[in-house]
């Protein structure tokens, strides 16, 4: 009997925890040394991953009793233009090499997406270990990460603010409250429950510290998560809900002037830091970060807020999806004056064409319709292009999580 005929797809449960962990460690080459660097032991990571198998939708291929290929989907929520969407967070993707090239992952991804559709998770996020691979499966880039390096003499001068800074433990409830305030008003951001917070902290060093900016009403308006090592102020993340909080946070960072030689950190928006500094000659590196794909366009559009207009707008187009039949075919998008959209299949033919990858990055606001049309990713009339430009909000997604 061939190996392929011995394989069976089934749910991966807590009883498979050790095998799930072994496959993850093999595929992502996590060594004992890597674990020790962040204070982890083998039993710690096994224990930490058990909530995944309890709360996530984990599917795998088994060769008799051996787990040989797997994918996990976290039940997350994200904010998209001030609406809360259920999101399927794809992670833990891996196959042992001796079982590759049999189409196992293709079938797992299809089933995972079908399950997401059933659970009304109309969008899926993932961190890509291969952008070309996930593009072929229907995902597209929707967010960037900017890494910056600021020398001590380039730090901004102190600005007068009405609030105050306070250092707290990262486990503090105020850290979660600060992030919640920020995420609720930030396009693309994750709303973090316990599972999301656990993933967010998973690989952090023990000496990570949080410093919160409280406004004059004692509300937390922002925070910086950081550690200091070898005279470098490392920033894991910095968030703020207004400009005063941003100034307060940088006042705090600059107050470390005598202790550090430089600041190195990440920001997860499309706003480079250089323009905001008096000495703008800093080093910044931009790289693609997270990818997303619309799981079910009809479900996604039902929640999506287009910009209001005086009249009804319509777009007829052919949609291509490399994996999902329910996203393939000719559709009509109708947008009401109040911005509410609806989409339905039509038997009519259309020369306008777009694929699910482009639709995702366009509706998420990462790339504008005009640009996507210019590079050949959308085929439509100039009138339709103008309509799409006017109908889609202009905000680039923020996403700082990792799972």
Rg (CA), the chain: 23
User: Can you give the CATH number for the domain in which 32 is found?
Assistant: 3.40.630.30
Q: What's the mean pLDDT in 14-41?
A: 70
Number of residues that make up the chain: 403
- Domain end (from 243, 263, 288): 288
Instruction: Say whether both 155 and 278 belong to one domain.
Output: yes
Instruction: Say whether both 315 and 260 belong to one domain.
Output: no
Helix (H) / strand (E) containing 342: strand 341-345
Instruction: Say whether both 309 and 372 belong to one domain.
Output: yes
Q: How far apart are CA 396 and CA 360, in angstroms?
A: 13
What per-residue confidence (pLDDT) applies to 46?
Answer: 47
Cα 211 → chain centroid: 24
For residue 376, give the DSSP letter: T
- Does residue 202 surpass a pLDDT of 90? no
What per-residue confidence (pLDDT) applies to 43?
Answer: 45
* 100 is a domain residue: yes
- Does residue 3 surpass a pLDDT of 60? no
What would the pLDDT profile of 93-104 be if each residue is shown by its tens digit?
Answer: 999 999 998 999
What would the pLDDT profile of 369-382 be if each residue is shown by its tens digit?
Answer: 999 999 999 999 99
What is the b/e burial string over 379-395, where b = at least 16 CB atoms within 10 angstroms of the residue's CB? ebeeebbebbeebbeeb
What per-residue confidence (pLDDT) applies to 26?
Answer: 85
Q: How far apart are CA 322 and CA 398, in angstroms?
A: 27
Q: Look up tokens 């460690």; give the residue.
A: 25
Helix (H) / strand (E) containing 198: helix 194-201
- Domain end (from 288, 313, 329): 288
Q: Look up tokens 């691979």; give the residue.
A: 133
What per-residue confidence (pLDDT) applies to 277?
Answer: 78
Q: How confident is the model at residue 196 (pLDDT cuts 50, 70, 90)?
A: very high
| Averaged confidence pLDDT in the chain | 91
- Domain end (from 72, 88, 121): 121
* 174 is a domain residue: yes
The model's pTM: 0.90
- Does residue 243 surpass a pLDDT of 70? yes
| Domain assignment of residue 102, given as a range | 3-121
Indicate if the alpha-carbon torsion angle 319, 141, 292, 178 is positive or negative.
negative
What per-residue confidence (pLDDT) applies to 6?
Answer: 86
* pLDDT above 90: percentage of residues in the chain: 79
Instruction: Say whether both 270 and 304 belong to one domain.
Output: no
* pLDDT above 70: percentage of residues in the chain: 93
Number of structural domains the chain divides into: 3
Instruction: Say whether both 154 and 267 belong to one domain.
Output: yes
Other Cβ atoms less than 10 A from the Cβ of 368: the count is 17
Question: Crossing angle, helix 42-55 and helix 194-201, to 10 degrees?
Answer: 150
Q: How confident is the model at residue 88 (pLDDT cuts 50, 70, 90)?
A: very high
């Amino acid at each position: 009997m061939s190996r392929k005929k011995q394989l069976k797809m089934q749910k991966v449960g807590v009883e498979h925890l050790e095998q799930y962990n072994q496959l993850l460690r093999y595929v992502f080459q996590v060594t004992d040394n890597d674990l020790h660097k962040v204070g982890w032991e083998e039993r710690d990571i096994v224990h930490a991953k058990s909530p995944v198998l309890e709360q996530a939708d984990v599917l795998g291929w088994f060769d008799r009793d051996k787990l040989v290929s797997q994918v996990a989907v976290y039940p997350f929520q994200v904010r998209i233009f001030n609406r809360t969407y259920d999101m399927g967070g794809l992670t833990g993707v891996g196959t042992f090499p001796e079982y590759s090239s049999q189409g196992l992952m293709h079938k797992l991804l299809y089933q995972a997406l079908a399950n997401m559709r059933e659970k009304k998770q109309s969008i899926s996020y993932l961190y890509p270990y291969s952008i070309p691979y996930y593009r072929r499966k229907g995902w597209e880039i929707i967010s960037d990460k900017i890494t910056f390096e600021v020398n001590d003499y380039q730090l901004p001068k102190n600005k007068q603010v009405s609030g105050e800074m306070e250092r707290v433990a990262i486990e503090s409830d105020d850290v979660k409250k600060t992030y919640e305030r920020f995420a609720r008003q930030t396009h693309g951001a994750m709303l973090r429950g316990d599972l999301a917070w656990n993933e967010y902290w998973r690989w952090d060093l023990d000496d990570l510290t949080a410093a919160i900016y409280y406004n004059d009403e004692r509300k937390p308006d922002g925070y910086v998560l950081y550690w200091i090592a070898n005279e470098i102020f490392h920033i894991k993340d910095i968030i703020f809900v207004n400009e005063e909080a941003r100034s307060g946070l940088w006042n705090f960072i600059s107050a470390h002037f005598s202790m550090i030689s430089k600041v190195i950190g990440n920001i997860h928006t499309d706003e480079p830091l250089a323009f905001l500094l008096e000495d703008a000659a800093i080093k910044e590196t931009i790289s693609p970060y997270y990818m997303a794909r619309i799981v079910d366009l009809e479900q996604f559009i039902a929640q999506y807020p287009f910009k209001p207009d005086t009249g009804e707008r319509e777009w007829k187009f052919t949609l291509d999806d490399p994996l999902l039949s329910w996203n393939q075919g000719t559709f009509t998008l109708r947008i009401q004056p109040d911005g509410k959209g609806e989409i339905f299949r039509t038997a009519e033919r259309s020369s306008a064409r777009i694929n699910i990858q482009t639709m995702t990055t366009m509706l998420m606001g990462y790339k504008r319709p005009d640009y996507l049309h210019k590079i050949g990713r959308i085929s439509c009339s100039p009138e339709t292009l103008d309509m799409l430009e006017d109908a889609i909000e202009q905000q680039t997604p923020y996403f700082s999580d990792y799972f």
